Amino acid sequence: MSVTVLLLLLTLCAQGGYGEEKEEAQRPGHVSVVIVGGTGDLAKKYLWQGFFHLYVNQVSSGNTFSFYGGGLSPADTATPLLFEILKAVSCSKDISQERCALLKEQFLRLSQYRQLKTLEDYQDLAKHIEKQLQEEGMTEAGRLFYLSVPAFAYADIADKINGSCRPTSGAWLRVVLEKPFGHDLRSAQVLASQLVSSLKDEEMYRIDHYLGKQVVAKILPFRAENKKFLDPIWNKHHIERVEIVLKETLDVKGRIPFYDQYGVIRDVLQNHLTEVMTLLTMRLPMNLSSNEEVTQNKLRVISSILPLGKNQAVIGQYQAYKSEVQQELNKTKDHNTLTPTFAAVLAHIDEAQYEGVPILLISGKMLDERVGYARILFKNDIFCLQSHNSVHCKPKQIVFYFGHGSLKYPAILVSKNLFKPVLADGEWKEVTEHADVSVLGLPVSDYYVQTPTKEREAYAELISHIFAGRKNSFISTENLLASWDLWTPLLNGLSSSFPRIYPGGADNGDMLDIRLKGKDISYNSEVVIINPDQMGGTSANGFQVMQGKFRSDDMVSAWAEELVERLAADMQEVAEAAVRESGVFHLALSGGSTPLALFHRLALHHFSFPWRDTHVWMVDERCVPLSELESNFYTLHNHLLQHVRIPYFNIHPMPVHLNHRLCVEEDGGAQLYEKEVSSLVNGSSFHFVLLGVGYDSHTASLFPGTKVDELGERLVALTESPDKPHQRMSLTFNAINRAQRVALLVMGKGKHEVITQLSRVKDNPVKWPVTGVKPANGKLVWYLDYDALLG
C-alpha cells in the first residue's frame, strides 16, 4: 500500500480538525499543491502554515494531497531549508498534541522540494504527478500553483505551467499570484495580457491578503445583515466622513529594493485600502456569493471615484529612509529619493448617495502605533448644551477594526447611540467584558462589540477559498485595471513632489496632521503664503507667475498648476464682469485633454463662479454621437458640467448628430448652431473663448490647409481633421475673432516645439492656423506653462 493511500486511511479515521469551512461541491480526488518560491519569506511566514491548515481541514474530506516547495536552488541545498520551515507549522489550540504530531508528520511526508527553473523541471514535475496518480490509481482533483516570486517572473512561469503542467481533463488548475500586479496602469495591462495568453481568467487567483482578514471579509455580510439599520443612514445626509487607515510602526529596512520603486501608495493604498473602500461603498449585491455581481458592483464604484489630483494627496517620508536607501541600494550620500512612506489621500465618489462625503485613505511606516481600521463617522446634529457625556452627544460611528492598536483584537464596533447590530451566525460573538481602553475617541464600553469566535490568519482563510474555488475574495483583472486607472494619474502627478520628512514614531507629533478643505487635502501645519504685495493683484500664487508677451499678445507663464489656477481666476473675473454688465456670460470651450485641468479647477475650487448666468458653447466638436468617449461634449460634461450648477438650457452642444447621421452638410447642423449663436449671443461676440494649439498648430478644429477665405462670414463650419475622427464642426476665425477675450492654453513639453516655431513665424492661418486668431476688438492672452515655453 502506498504512502498516500495509507495516509488517507489514517486521516479518515482521525477526528475532526479545526476550522469548519463550508466548501463548495467539487470532485474529490488528488490535489497537488506547488508553492513556487517555497522557501521564501512569505512562504515561511504564512503560506506553509496556511496549507497545513487546509490539509488539517481537508483530511476527512476524501481528498488526498501532495505538496511541493519549488525554487531556483538545487534540491540538495534547498530541501533542508524547506523542512526547517515545515517543522515550524503549528496546530490550533483545539487540537490535541498527539493528533497535531500525527498531522504534522503526515504533512511532512507528503511534502518535498523540487527545483523549478527550466521548462524541463516543470515537465519533470508534471511527469512525477502523473506517475503518482497512475501508480496509486487516484483521480486527479486539481493542481494549485502558488507563485510566491517577484512579479517579473509571473509571465514566464505561467507559460511553463500552461505548456507542461496542466492537469488531466476534468481536474482544475488554479494559479495564485501575489501583488505587485504592475506598477501603473500600463504595466498592469501588459502583465494582464501576458498572463491571459497562458491562463484562463477563472484559473487566476490574485491575492490581496486584506480580503482574507476576518473583519474585512465581514464588511459586506455586516452591511447585509444590518440593512434595516444602515439603509436610512448609509448616505451623504448622515455620513460625515469615512476613514480607512493602516498605521505601522516598522520601517522598511530589508525591503528597500522593492519598496523604493513602489512607495506607500502602490504598496498599500492602491490595493488594500482601495479594496476596503469599495467594500464599504459599493452597492450591496443581491447575492453576496455571486462573484459576478460583486465584481460588477465593485467596478462601478471604483469608476465613479472623482479623479485624484495632486490636491487630493499629501505625502511624507520618514527621516531615516534616505540613508537606508543609500545603504541597501549601494548609493552615495548625495543620492536622493522621493518615494513616499506616508500618504493621506482624499477621495470622493461621484454618486448621489455619497456626494460630498470625504473618504480618507491613510497609511504610513514609522508612525506612532500599529493599527488598521475603517471608520464611518456619522453626523451628529444634536447640540448638547450641558451634559456632553450623555450618549446622544458622543460620536456616532461604526468601526471595522482590523486588529492591533489599543483593542488588540479584530472587531466590529458600533457606537451605542446608533443601533445594536445583528449577530447573524456562530462565527461571530458579542464581547461584553471590556478592557479599560478607548477606540477612536470612545471607551469600548460605549460600543456594541463583535469579534470572530475563532481568530483566523488572512492567508489561511484565502487558501481555503482558493481550494474551494470561491473567487470573490480575489482581485479580478477588471477591478485591478480600474484601480490602477484611478491611481496612476495621481502617482504620475506626485512623481516629482517632495514628501514631507517626518522623524518617526511618537516624535512625529502633529507634523502629519491633515486638513480637509472642500475637495482638497493639505498638511494642517503647512505655511500659507498670502502676501497681497507680491501678488500684483492676482492669485495667491501670483509671485510664481511670469507675465510677458508672446507673438505681440499678452502671455502668462507658470508651472502647470499655477497657470491653470491663474486662468481659472481670470475666467471667473471676466464672467463676473459680464454678468454685472449684461446679466449673462457666454463662454465657448475647446475639447482635447489640455483643458481638463482647468475644468477640474473650476469644478473643485470655484464655488462662487456665476454658473447660473453662464451659457456654455462648444468651440469645436468631433462628428461622433455626444454620448461617446471621443466627443468633446462628453468630456466637458464628465469633467465639468455635471459638477456645477448650470441650468440645462444654458448648455449648447454642437448638433453633429442630426437625422441619425453625423455631420452631413445637407442636415445643416453648422447653420443651426450659427443661428443659435446669433440669436442668443449679443453681436455673436462671446465673452470668453478658450482655445488650445495642436502639434500642427491647429486651433479649434481649424487645421492647416483650411481655406479661411472660403468660410467668409460663416460663424460655424464643418471641417476636416488629418486625425480620426476626420469630420469636425468648428467655430470659424470669424466667430473667434469677434470674442471679447480669447485664452490660448498650451501645456506640456510636447508642445515646446510648436511654441518655438510659433514664436518665429509670421501670420499665415492656412499654414499655422493659430496665427489666424486675432480678436478684432477683444484681447488675446496666451497661457503657456513652463514646459511648453521652455521645454
Binding site for ligand BG6 (CB under 6 A): 246, 248, 267-268, 372
DSSP string, 288-324: TT-HHHHHHHHHHHHHTBPPP-GGGEEEEEETTHHHH
Rounded Cα distance between 262 and 444, Å, is 37
Rounded Cα distance between 595 and 307, Å, is 14
Which among 211, 195, 233 has a CA at the least distance from the CA of 298? 211
558-569 residues labelled b (16+ CB within 10 A) or e (exposed): bebbbbbbbbbb
Cell of 386: 450641558
Q: What is the signed CA dihedral for 41, 42, 44, 47, rounded to 10 degrees?
A: -170
Sheet holding 500-502, edge to edge: 428-431, 447-452, 411-415, 396-404, 371-378, 239-247, 359-364, 342-347, 313-318, 500-502
Q: Minimum distance from CB of 441 to ligand BG6 (Å)? A: 22
Q: Minimum distance from CB of 488 to ligand BG6 (Å)? A: 19
Q: What are the Cα distances from residue 528, in Å, to 515, 522, 540?
A: 13, 11, 9
Q: Minimum distance from CB of 458 to ligand BG6 (Å)? A: 6
Marked catalytic residue, from 30, 53, 272, 586: 272
Which among 705, 780, 790 has a CA at the least distance from the CA of 755? 790
Q: What is the signed CA dihedral for 323, 329, 335, 339, rounded to 10 degrees?
A: -80
Q: Which is nearer to ligand BG6, 372 or 694 (CB)?
A: 372
Q: What is the signed CA dihedral for 12, 18, 24, 27, rounded to 10 degrees?
A: -20
Q: Which is nearer to ligand BG6, 140 or 248 (CB)?
A: 248
- Which residues fall within 8 angstroms of residue 177, CB to CB, at 6 or more apart? 147, 151, 154, 195, 204, 205, 206, 207
3-state secondary structure 551-590: CCEEEEEECHHHHHHHHHHHHHHHHHHHHHHHCCEEEEEC
Which among 469, 409, 418 has a CA at the least distance from the CA of 176? 469
Q: What is the signed CA dihedral for 778, 783, 788, 790, rounded to 10 degrees?
A: 100
Q: Minimum distance from CB of 344 to ligand BG6 (Å)? A: 16
Residues paired with residue 374 on neighbouring β-strands, in sequence order: 244, 400
Q: Minimum distance from CB of 527 to ligand BG6 (Å)? A: 31
Q: Minimum distance from CB of 563 to ligand BG6 (Å)? A: 37
Sheet holding 546-550, edge to edge: 546-550, 553-558, 779-785, 741-746, 688-692, 585-589, 614-618, 651-652
Q: Which is nearer to ligand BG6, 249 or 380 (CB)?
A: 249
Q: Minimum distance from CB of 268 to ligand BG6 (Å)? A: 6
- Is 272 one of the catalytic residues? yes
Rounded Cα distance between 746 and 739, Å, is 19
Cell of 506: 511618537
Q: Minimum distance from CB of 181 to ligand BG6 (Å)? A: 12
Amino acid at 236: K
How far is residue 770 CA from its own chain's centroid? 38
3-state secondary structure 109-163: HCEEEEECCCHHHHHHHHHHHHHHHHHCCCCEEEEEEEECCCHHHHHHHHHHHHH
Q: Which is nearer to ligand BG6, 246 or 717 (CB)?
A: 246
Q: Minimum distance from CB of 206 to ligand BG6 (Å)? A: 13
Q: Which is nearer to ligand BG6, 243 or 267 (CB)?
A: 267
Q: Minimum distance from CB of 369 to ligand BG6 (Å)? A: 13
Q: Which is nearer to ligand BG6, 248 or 667 (CB)?
A: 248
Q: How many residues does the chain have?
A: 791
Cell of 591: 475639447
Quickly tell me which residue has 460583486 as its cell.
294
Residue nearest to ligand BG6 (CB): 267
Report the catalytic residues.
272
